[in-house]
Amino acid sequence: MPVLLKIEELEPGMVLAEKVVNGVSVLMQRDKVLEEKDISLLTKRFPDLEVRIIDPLLDERISFQNDSLDQDISFTVRVKALSTINKMDTTIRTKTGLDEKNCAAFIKSVSEMVAWIQTNHIKTAILPISKTYEEHRANVFFLAVAIGAFSRNHIRNERYRLSVAKKIWNVMDLKPLATAALLQDVGMVPIKHLLAKQDLNEDEAEMIKMHPIRGAEMIPDTIHSLVRQAVKMHHENVNGTGYPAGIPGDKVNVLAKVVRVADAYCSTIAPEVFKKIKSPFETLYEMLFGQYKVFYDPAILRILARVVQPFQIGARIKINTMETAVITKHDLENPFNPQMVIAYNKEGRKLTGDELQPAFFINDREDILFKTCDGQDITYLNDVPHHEFKSEEEAAVITK
């Protein structure tokens, strides 16, 4: 099915395996045959974009995971969330602020999105790079609700017994979580201009630090107290190093912990907003195994690892043999164990149908190791402790 190509690799006659979107507008539909003028348009406006193109040979020989439903759900929810966020921000900037009456419309929109996510089960939360602060918040909303929805199903199906998960279960009803995820950064709206500033003075830094408290104060009393509490605590870390209060994890509202994890993951894929970019696999690896893991609730991190997939279907990975493999399928239990097929030889020549070998999960092949993806070294992923992703029963056996 698809291979993820850079804009400069596109050629007329290639067929899009997914729709090309810019934020919330669809530029080109799935199955479109690219013409010269389409490629010129994309080159001019989105030189950094990568698009998935149908590869007839791979499509015929290899079974790819079809994630178009996940793509569509992600797009639909983020479009609606963005529209609600924009309306909310306009209300904050131009009117008296949030009140019972105008909040009711936003809450109605949250309820509709929650109902829609619950009836359209996603396998994976697909999150594109966000170009604006508002798109970032729409991503956070979608990921937080996806974590919540997944937790519900997971708890129900696997009798998940971690204490934090139990607390999630008690409050989940997803609506308070979704409302908190939508409102989390309302305290930043009046000082949004500070995000673009290079050097913040002391007062400005303090204003940013206080945005969770300011945001909680902006939310009317008619909104559930859990939501206001979550907004106030959405930058607290479980090891007590967060802000504004630096309170320890056992005092942090569980909804705030979910929003914290969703926000941390999404902020590294919003380069123009937060002036930093990391690949999704580097972000996830650092959150799960790096120095920052102490900031986050381990039970929620575990759920995050089941909800996001850092390697896109169709992405090209250089492996230790210097051949290039294409991602064909996700391991829904382990985001660092994608299935792949070797599709290019050491010299970069595309393999013919006769040369193609069956696809494999990387963990099943001791002779195959990660090397690079998109020019970035990913050899650290060879050291991922894969037993961490086994189900609890399996993990219990492993640790005995």
| Residue whose CB is less far from Fe ion, 242 or 310 | 242
Q: Which two tokens stand for residue 338?
A: 């994608």
Give yes or no for a cis peptide into 244 (omega within 30° of 0). yes
CB of 54 or CB of 208, closer to Fe ion? 208
- Least distance to Fe ion from the beta carbon of 187, Å? 7
**Residue of minimal Cβ distance to Fe ion:** 185
Give the C-alpha separation, 340 to 325, whole Å: 6
Residue placing its CB nearer to Fe ion in the complex, 4 or 189 = 189
Tell me whether residue 274 or residue 360 sits nearer to Fe ion (CB atom): 274
Minimum distance from residue 227 beta carbon to Fe ion (Å): 14
Give, for 67, the enclosing helix (H) or strand (E): none
Return the number of the residue (18 or 236) whose C-beta is nearest Fe ion. 236
Rounded to a whole number of angstroms, the minimum distance from the CB of residue 154 to Fe ion is 26
Angle between helix 68-94 and helix 133-158 axes, rounded to 10 deg: 130
186 three-state secondary structure:
helix
Name residue 142's amino acid.
Answer: F
Smallest gap from Cβ 176 to Fe ion, in A, equals 18
In the bound state with Fe ion, the residue whose beta carbon lies nearer, of 165 and 269, is 269
**Structure-block tokens of residue 302:** 């575990």
Class of residue 250 by CB neighbours under 10 A (exposed 0-12, middle 13-18, buried 19+): exposed
Q: State which residue, 300 or 342, has the beta carbon closest to Fe ion.
A: 300
DSSP state of 394: H
Q: Which of residues 321-360 bind Fe ion (CB under 5 A)?
A: none
Q: Provide the minimum distance between the beta carbon of 140 and Fe ion in the complex, in angstroms, as a whole number.
A: 9
- CB 309, min distance to Fe ion, A: 25
Using the structure block, give the residue that is written with the tokens 């759900």. Answer: 73
Q: Which residues, numbered 149-188, are part of the site for Fe ion (CB under 5 A)? A: 185
Contact 378, 317 (CB under 8 A): yes
Q: Which CB sits closer to Fe ion, 235 or 306? A: 235
For residues 2 and 94, give the distance between their C-alpha atoms in angstroms, rounded to a whole number. 45
Shortest Å distance, C-beta 230 to Fe ion: 11
List the x/- string, 101-120, binding to Fe ion by CB under 5 A: --------------------
Our CB check for Fe ion shows the closer of 89 and 185 to be: 185
Alpha helices in the chain (DSSP H): 36-45, 56-61, 68-94, 100-119, 133-158, 163-171, 174-183, 202-209, 211-218, 225-232, 254-267, 271-274, 280-289, 298-307, 392-399
In whole angstroms, what is the distance from residue 301 CA to residue 241 CA?
Answer: 17
> DSSP code of 350?
B
Which 277-296 positions form the footprint of Fe ion (CB under 5 A)?
Answer: none
**Rg of the Cα trace of the chain?**
22
Distance, in Å, from the CA atom of 49 to the CA atom of 5, rounded to the nearest integer, reads 9
Nearer to Fe ion, 72 or 217 (CB): 217
Helix (H, G, I), strand (E, B) or coil at 356: coil
Using CB under 5 A as the binding rule, the residues of this chain from 184 to 213 that contact Fe ion are 185
Please state the closest distance from residue 234 (CB atom) to Fe ion, in A.
6
The number of residues that bind Fe ion (CB under 5 A) is: 1
228 phi/psi in degrees, rounded to 5: -65, -40
Question: In the bound complex, what is the minimum distance in angstroms from residue 185's beta carbon to Fe ion?
Answer: 4
Q: How far is the CB of 193 from Fe ion (least distance, A)?
A: 15
| Site residues, Fe ion (CB under 5 A) | 185
